[in-house]
Amino acid sequence: MGNELFEKALPILNQIETHHFEAYFVGGAVRDYIMHRTIHDIDITTSAMPDEIEDIFEHTIPIGKEHGTINVVFNNENYEVTTFRSEGDYLDHRRPSEVHFVRNLYEDVQRRDFTINAIAMDKNYKIFDYFGGQKDIQSKLIRTVGNPSERFKEDALRIIRGLRFQSQLTFDIHTETFEAMQLTCSDIEYLSIERIVVEFKKLILGSNVKQSYHNLLSLKLFNHIPFFNELDMTCVYINEPLEFEQWLAILLIKNDTLPSLKQLKISNKEKSDIHTYIDIIETLPQITSKDALKLFVYDYSDYYILKVLNIYSVLQNNQIPTASELIINSLSIKQVVQHLQLHERKEMDVNGKDLLDHFNKNGGPWLKNVLREIECAIVTDKIKNNKEEILKWVNENVKI
């Protein structure tokens, strides 16, 4: 019952134990296994030191050796094997200044964030649950391991992680844990934006995002995060899971200001996707004819337009104008794609050089305009994508 991934990883636990160390599965995989959810990646916690793990296994990668984490490559799969550790002081509210390796499981799970994430499991599927994680899974509760205010003061990212798990798992947040979130949430300003964005991406995609987004707003959590603190976050209402880029596009459309996306330290592809979503959404109301739809699909691709169609209800809930679903729907888009003569400009049977030769003229802004006019004529099937026909059409129809 959903334990194939553990079965594949069992030889790792066995091998570590053969060398007289302890080893357990821990964290998200054990939680998801107990909840009968799909397991993604398996984390292993062990009493062996990083050097000892490197000695035991043939193929290892020291991905976070100073924090105790060695990647063990076994049967072409990667497993993160982390030495039992407790954490030192959190002097600057960020990451612990140092980690202490320890030799027992209890101390290791004690430093973990929530009871549901602090359950370990040995090679016989025996559960080690020191903080009532299974009971909290049953009661669908997110509760910190230990005193919530202290745990959030140590690392304020746990506040966002708590809301992220609420969104993914549809759990409630235990009253005292939630009260501590209210008390400590200004410490979020000490976190790096990269760590916050990792959690936001998961939170906004969670099936219970409506509830946890409401909590994000009620905690006024965005006031403490660069970029978001320049936006009016209350003017966007999220009722369904979204991708991070789609969420950002909606936020920017609903706000008049445009804070720099640089602050989020996301990739160029992510930035470009956000702009594509903004352009698509802002163009939607202009798509009132078959020709407009053909150009729209050509310009933005069926892939991105279908992704916007998937979030129509969020757009409508936020009073963002859309197009008639009679004109734009998944069927009409697929039909348009099948019949497009052109999919990208380089497929066009004339290029800039052909036009320069044809008109015997120097380059300039005119060239870009003519190329676009030809492109539109082909995409809307006014002419065939054929050099002779294109040049004849240009002679008769385009003013240069």
What is the footprint of ligand ATP within residues 13-32 (CB under 6 A)? 27-28
Site string for Mg ion, 14-53 (x = CB under 5 A): --------------x-------------------------
Query: Is 88 assigned a ligand-binding role in the annotation?
Result: no
Task: Work out how close the CB of 36 gets to Mg ion at its nearest, in angstroms, rounded to a whole number.
Answer: 17
Nearer to Mg ion, 28 or 259 (CB): 28
Site string for ligand ATP, 124-163 (x = CB under 6 A): -------------------------------x-xx-----
Q: How far is the CB of 33 from ligand ATP (least distance, A)?
A: 11
71 vs 246 by CB, closer to Mg ion: 71
CB of 107 to Mg ion, least distance (A): 20
- Sequence-distant (≥ 6) Cβ neighbours of residue 132 within 8 angstroms: 115, 143
Shortest reach from residue 161's CB to ligand ATP, in Å: 6
The response to whether 136 counts as a known ligand-binding position is no
Residue 112 or 224: the one with the smaller Cβ distance to Mg ion is 112
112 interface partner picked from ligand ATP, Mg ion, none, CB below 5 to 8 A per type: ligand ATP
Does the annotation list 112 as a binding residue?
Answer: yes
Nearer CB in complex with ligand ATP: 29/350:
29
Q: Which residues are annotated as a binding site for CTP?
A: 28, 31, 112, 155, 158, 161, 164
Residues contributing to the site for Mg ion (CB under 5 A): 28
